[in-house]
Amino acid sequence: MPVTKRQREVLDFVGEFIERRGYAPSLEEIGRGLKLSSVSTVHKHLKNLEAKGMLSREWNRSRSLTVTPPPAKAGAVNIPLLGTIAAGAPIEAVTNPDSIAVPADLVGRRKAFALRVKGDSMIDEHICDGDVVIVEARDTARNGETVVALIDGHDATLKKFQRQGNCVKLIPANSAMDPIVVSDRELRIQGVVIGILRTY
């Protein structure tokens, strides 16, 4: 089932807390870590995540939260892992052909490839440094989609796409960074992000 942005933040926080410390966070620690206004707000998010099968806990024990592994996929397919993509300032596009197994139902019949993320310009979309993005190979995009963009034929970057007349604004999901504005002739869309793989 789909989760909201805030629910994803809670789930990520719990998983990372357990990974670092070996035990689950309390409601108060989740609230402080995510700057949530009250314990009841945290409780509501946890209940929703439990209802979606993503968290479990024992009601008679403190610190009993566990992240529920996703159900086994019907199968996996190998797609090319083509190196690194900048989630920050554009970097020279480098292709190091390799492959990575991804869930078959994520890709379907689409032509796809994977790139490892370098940088934190898409952090507010939960695309972090070291993540692997799964990309549908296509040369067009709709406003709001996260794209792999090639600028001037050699600088690759990962940003939100927004068309503005004959120009395109490539928007980071990080308030500390500025958008990149390029003309159509400077830009080539290489694909649109359809999924993310993360290893804790």
What are the residue numbers of the active site? 121, 159
Phi, psi values for residue 57, rounded to 5°: -160, 160
Residue environment code for 3-24, b if the CB has 16+ CB neighbours within 10 A, otherwise e: eeeebebbbbbbbebbeeeeeb
Contact 121, 158 (CB under 8 A): yes
DSSP code per residue over 18-66? HHHHSSPPPHHHHHHHHT-S-HHHHHHHHHHHHHTTSEE--TTSTT--E
Half-sphere exposure of 31 (CA within 13 A, CB side): 11
Contact 179, 167 (CB under 8 A): no
Residue of 118, 128, 121 lying closest to 12 (CA atoms): 128
